[in-house]
Amino acid sequence: MKAQLRIESLVHGGEGLARHQGRVVFVRGAAPGDLVEAEVQGGEARFERTRALRVLEPGAAHVQAPCPIVDRCGGCPLQHVDYGAQLAAKTALTADALDRIGGFAPGSYQLLPVSPSPKQFRYRRRARLHRGPRGTWGFKGDEGVVPVEECLLFEGPLQALADALRGPELPGAVDLGLDTSASGAGALDLKANGPPSPALRKRARALLGTVKGVTLGSETLGDPVLIDAHPGFRLRSRPDVFSQANRSMVPALQEAAIAALGDAASGRVVELFCGSGTLTLPLLLRARSVVGVESAGPSLQLLRRSADEMAGAAAKLRLVAGDAAEVLSGLPGPFDAALLDPPRTGAAGAVRALAKQGIPRIGYVSCDAPTLARDAKLLREAGYQLVSAHPLDLFPQTAHFEVVASFARVSGAKPGTS
């Protein structure tokens, strides 16, 4: 049946929250304050999900989404929400997760103002496309791969690279990763179902006139390493390893991560999930020593090359490959601080290992507020206080954002066993 629903707020995932006959309804395509018409099923379940069929009364936060395929693509579920309202929602969602999941009452820690992105569109330096119908490339939506001619989130160099690849056939490739440097250089990561065919290898080699390099399974053609210059260091990336997509927000993220460590940032620091050095390299400019732990070998190779260029940095950096929790249990301490930037699933095992060592200060960079809250609860139970939480919007128009949390071991607390 059709029902009129008033949207109260946004929830994790970008849906709008409404209520109908005492039940919670999560509505896609709606902004806070909207009165929408939607199809609801009813029943005994506590909640259901639906999509707005039409907006009857737009709320103050509702704007016109500029992308013509926003409803089919699904990658930007907040394009119809005013950017100020997006920021407010991400701040509220940070507090909600820490309260509801972590048990941290409002006012028990400092919730810092959200850091907005300098670019609301055209901010992505990298993307991953999937093979669609009739040889097209696009993003995975609710109904399969949606072909994409132009993405409004792509930086100019990334859009130009995507355009250049639209014509050439890539036989057997099903997944295409693109990355670009600030100077406009590009690199590709091609994935196929099974070993790459000779035809795909030939086509990939031909692309070396368009891009610096290609990674093709375990093979490397040309030089796929891209470099972005920062004050005091050069950060390397490759299309087949993790790197932050919003280049314009990297300085703010680095500053927030180091600030979370306080004065301990100048001491002996262990960094878990260090990747290719987005946070490690600026940390090396002030820390006495850094031990970086990462499971991806190519990322560590990029980090080592960047550190070797920095005066005095190589001597105070030790890199260890392996699982964060396992490596940490065998590292000789003591450490003054720990910094971690885990994947979206969080780092419960690593957090428990950190707590057992009783490291005085911990900075946690998270791309998922609920898993951060879960791990923060483990730290609290192990004798740590949540000092602050700082949301940063690295992903405008989407439901994703980063949170940098700072934890301090309570004076007199014994190393945790949680």
Q: Considering the candidates 67, 73, 151, 367, report the single residue annotated as catalytic.
A: 367
Specify the pLDDT at position 418: 46
Integer Cα distance of 62 and 57 in angstroms: 10
Q: Which two tokens stand for residue 24?
A: 């919670």
Mean pLDDT of all residues in the chain?
Answer: 94
pLDDT tens digit string along 273-323?
A: 999 999 999 999 999 999 999 998 999 999 999 999 999 999 999 999 999
Specify the pLDDT at position 291: 97
Are 76 and 395 in contact, with CB atoms under 8 Å apart?
no
Are 96 and 373 in contact, with CB atoms under 8 Å apart?
no
Query: Of 375, 401, 413, 315, which is closest to residue 115 (Cα–Cα)?
Result: 401
Pairing state between β 35-39 and 23-28: unpaired
Specify the pLDDT at position 259: 98
Q: Sketch out the chain's domains with CATH numbers.
A: 2-62 (2.40.50.140), 88-118+246-409 (3.40.50.150), 126-227 (2.40.50.1070)
pTM of the predicted protein model: 0.94
Question: Among this protein's residues, is 367 annotated catalytic?
Answer: yes
Specify the pLDDT at position 19: 94
Are 306 and 233 in contact, with CB atoms under 8 Å apart?
yes
Q: Which two tokens stand for residue 232?
A: 């005091």
Instruction: Give me the residues of the chain with pLDDT under 70, please.
Output: 413-418
Specify the pLDDT at position 416: 60
pLDDT tens digit string along 38-80?
A: 999 877 778 899 999 999 999 999 999 999 999 888 899 999 9
